[in-house]
Amino acid sequence: MINLESGLRNNRTEFIRETTFNQTPADPAWELLSDEVFAFDWDGQRDIFAKRRLGSVDPDQFFGGSEGHEVTVEYYLQRWLLSGGNPLDPLGDAVVRDLDNNMGSSLSLVSREDRQVSGGNPLIDSGVRTYTVVTGAYANTAVVPGQVESGEPIRPTINYIASKVRSYEISQPAASTTLTVVSDNAGDTTQSLDVEDEGAGTTETIALNGVTPVVGAQSFTDIDAAYLDAECIGDVTVTDGTDTLFVIFGSATYDNIEGDRGVPLLGAGSHGAALATAYEQFIDDTITRDGNDIAAYVNSAEFRVNNNLDTRPQLGSLARVIIPGTRQTELQTGVFGPHESHAQMMDHLRVLQSDIVWTLTGGTITLDDAVLMSPPGRRYQAEEVTMDLDCTFEAAGLTVSG
């Protein structure tokens, strides 16, 4: 049977807030986005310049510039956005600003896909684990949709701009084995590689000795994390003594700018535990405008936040500087009723500012002094039983409570 990459394989996606930008904390207490993650999408690109010269129709050399990374996640909402005014769910990080109007903590995210080779338990049978390691991620946009008709739980989509993203593939040993570590650069003699199995029950620190292979003392049945304490110049290869299990690329691979570090360690931390709480539903929510129902009938809503992040390349690094911009907060509603086209259009023409409050199970999202920016218009049509109207409001401020 052909074993192809897909969303059907086992996947674990976790996040943690960074205390230092672009660095996963030591001993991280990872959290799940949700018990049900719908999508994880990484889009990365490095600027590449093709050098051409007179007398040739083809480029004769390529040069790499800075990198840009976007990561998008979709999941079913189970936590409220904030706790005690601080972000709880990743949505909270997307909407809050501090007293200087800067964004809060950046995030690290790690997504692991398990590919079976021999079948059975992925923790004891040989297979491959593919990791997407994201650091320095800020939420650029967040969308929180609600649909009455489908009955689907609220499924947010968050798009991040990240400082660095790397992919690692770790082949699992076919049997319990010691590990052999070697660099392809003789100068890599001061670094060490920390290795952990699932849950960090078995760990080992192996000091590098340049191009001389170093054999560890611990036997590993599986490998879940491997992290260098400092960047290396050369590519670091880990084998079971015969077959290559994984490679961590050094700075020489990236034009001598910076090397990779690997998959972050669990240390004394923990993997995310199941939330085991109810999903946020839309069907029993309320949306009011200045204390009154926003319309006679509401069948959909979509709350959107755009932080308008900007990026700039910087000297001496592959990563771009991430700069928070203005915050744009919108609510789009699908409404109908006896005279909604009149009420909504006149509110738009009068530039009526009023507070819109979306009350969910966990708390409230208030669009302060919101204005109907995109009016629904009015169109009568033969055989139409009701006039369905889309209204888009933009807020002058945002208050999240609960």
Instruction: Concatenate the DSSP letters of all residues of 342-381 into one string.
Output: HHHHHHHHTT--EEEEEE-SS-EEEEEEEEEEE-------
Q: Domain 286-401 is in which class?
A: mainly beta
What tens digit of pLDDT does each residue of 105-150 get? 999 999 999 987 654 444 445 689 999 999 999 999 999 999 998 8
Q: How far apart are CA 372 and CA 332, in angstroms?
A: 9
User: If residue 110 lies in a helix (H) or strand (E), which one and from where to where?
Assistant: strand 107-116
Q: How far apart are CA 398 and CA 91, in angstroms?
A: 13
Q: Residue ranges of the domains in the chain?
A: 10-263, 286-401
Q: How far is CA 224 from CA 130, 152, 154, 221, in A?
A: 10, 34, 32, 10
Q: How far apart are CA 19 and CA 319, in angstroms?
A: 18
- The two most distant CA atoms of the chain are separated, in Å, by 81
What tens digit of pLDDT does each residue of 297-348 get? 999 999 999 999 999 999 999 999 999 999 999 999 999 999 999 999 999 9
Closest to 136 in 3D by CA, of 115, 165, 157: 165
Task: Tell me what percent of the residues of the chain surpass a pLDDT of 90.
Answer: 90
Tokens in use for 283? 């069907």
What tens digit of pLDDT does each residue of 194-239 get? 999 999 999 999 999 999 999 999 999 999 999 999 999 999 999 9
pLDDT for residue 4 is more than 90:
no
Strand, coil or helix: 92:
helix
pLDDT for residue 73 is more than 90:
yes
Placement of tokens 């969303």 in the chain:
7
What tens digit of pLDDT does each residue of 342-392 get? 999 999 999 999 999 999 999 999 999 999 999 899 999 999 899 999 999
Residue 118: the pLDDT is 53
Give 116 or 177, the one with higher predicted confidence.
Answer: 177
